[in-house]
Amino acid sequence: MRRFMHGAAVWDVACPQRPSRVAGVTMAGFRVRHLDALRMVPHPAVTLLLDFGAGSPVVDDATGRQQRGSVVAGLGVGSAGAVWAWGANVECVQVRLSPVVARAVLGVSPADLDGAVVALDDLWGREASRIRERLGDVSSWEDRFALVDAWLASRHEVAPPVDPEVAWAWHRIVGSGGVARVDGLAAEVGWSRKRLWSRFRSQLGLPPKHAVKLVRFDHAAHRLVAGEGAARVAADVGYTDQSHLHRDVVAFTGATPATVAGEPFLAVDDIAWPSRGAVRK
């Protein structure tokens, strides 16, 4: 494990030695003695949090409800800084799922999650308890990652995939860093604009235009965390100007670019997700 320290935050972080058998799935392990209130920053993935430690993470969502323990967070959850996580003696495996594979793995469409945080027990019932128990029984992080990966792969194998045209459009948006021209996507897959927009929204949980904005924001936010200036990030990432970047960052996080640059939720990514692009496939 590696130790992540960011201000008062001290986390132990583990990464798998091998990639997942399911393209579009990445994971990391966390052990945190004291998890102070942590703003969840919107991300272009569906998040699956599997806890197994003595304590339980607590998530306060946008509706004012609290979820404890293992949860699923919808694509882009946390807009306007409305979702916060905290807890004590937290041990968990966090899985990031590309929306292209999320439906197959979870058994529920990202559209049904609608950007919310849902208790895993509510989705899977007893199966959620079984995976928690098995994670607690094994002693090494690598064994935990292997256990989770085998479980996700078995679910993925028997579930229908999203439409290939929808998957292609998502890959195109992600591969462009969020600067793909939305109007051209339908023509490139040979569908009408209405058909692509409808299938994309129903299968991935958000319309293509918002997907572009989310991917572009994520790219910009990580560059801000890396210490790059807002003006340069705005110019390089595809914003019309620095004010445009500022508006998007505030809309997605409820905070200014300067504040987002110091978010531990993002800063830990270089350790926990050294190959962040893999989750976006």
Whole-angstrom Cα distance, residue 276 to residue 223? 13
Mean pLDDT value across residues 76-104: 93
259 shares its domain with 176: yes
Cα 157 from chain centre? 22
C-beta separation of 251 from 220 below 8 A: no
* Percent of the chain at pLDDT exceeding 70: 98
> Residue 83's pLDDT is what?
93
Residue 277 pLDDT exceeds 50: no
Residue 8 pLDDT exceeds 90: no
Condensed to tens digits (0 to 9), the pLDDT of residues 29-71 reads 999 999 988 999 999 999 999 999 889 899 998 778 899 999 9
Condensed to tens digits (0 to 9), the pLDDT of residues 140-173 reads 999 999 999 999 999 998 888 899 999 999 999 9
> Residue 239's pLDDT is what?
96
DSSP string, the chain: -EEEEETTEEEEEE--SS--SSTTEEEEEEEEEEEEEEEPPP-SSEEEEEE-SSS--EEE-TTS-EEESSEEE-TTTTGGG--EEEEEEEEEEEEEE-HHHHHHHHSS-HHHHTT-EEEHHHHHTHHHHHHHHHHHH--SHHHHHHHHHHHHHHHHHTSPPPPHHHHHHHHHHHHTTS---HHHHHHHHT--HHHHHHHHHHHHSS-HHHHHHHHHHHHHHHHHHTT--HHHHHHHHT-SSHHHHHHHHHHHHSS-HHHHTT-HHHHTHHHH-TTGGGGG-
> Residue 117's pLDDT is what?
92
> Residue 242's pLDDT is what?
96
Whole-angstrom Cα distance, residue 219 to residue 202? 25
> Residue 278's pLDDT is what?
40
176 shares its domain with 240: yes
Domain CATH number, residue 91: 2.60.120.10
pLDDT band for position 276 (cuts 50, 70, 90):
low
> Residue 161's pLDDT is what?
87
Torsion of CA 32, 148, 98, 34, to 10 degrees: -10
Domain CATH number, residue 202: 1.10.10.60
20 shares its domain with 150: yes
> Residue 49's pLDDT is what?
96
Residue 258 pLDDT exceeds 60: yes
Whole-angstrom Cα distance, residue 42 to residue 31? 22
Mean of pLDDT over the chain: 92
154 shares its domain with 168: no
Condensed to tens digits (0 to 9), the pLDDT of residues 229-243 reads 999 999 999 999 999
Residue 89 pLDDT exceeds 70: yes
Query: Of 160, 175, 194, which residue constitutes the final position of a domain?
Result: 160
30 shares its domain with 52: yes
Mean pLDDT value across residues 200-228: 95
C-beta separation of 215 from 178 below 8 A: yes
Q: Is residue 246 part of a domain?
A: yes
Residue 279 pLDDT exceeds 50: no
> Residue 280's pLDDT is what?
41
Query: Of 160, 191, 221, which residue constitutes the final position of a domain?
Result: 160
pLDDT band for position 181 (cuts 50, 70, 90):
confident
* Percent of the chain at pLDDT exceeding 90: 78
Nearest to 183 by CA among 157, 160, 209, 213: 209
Q: Is residue 274 part of a domain?
A: no
Residue 281 pLDDT exceeds 50: no
CA atoms within 13 A on the CB side of 236: 12
Task: Using only the alpha carbons of the chain, give its radius of gyration.
Answer: 18
Domain that holds residue 116: 2-160
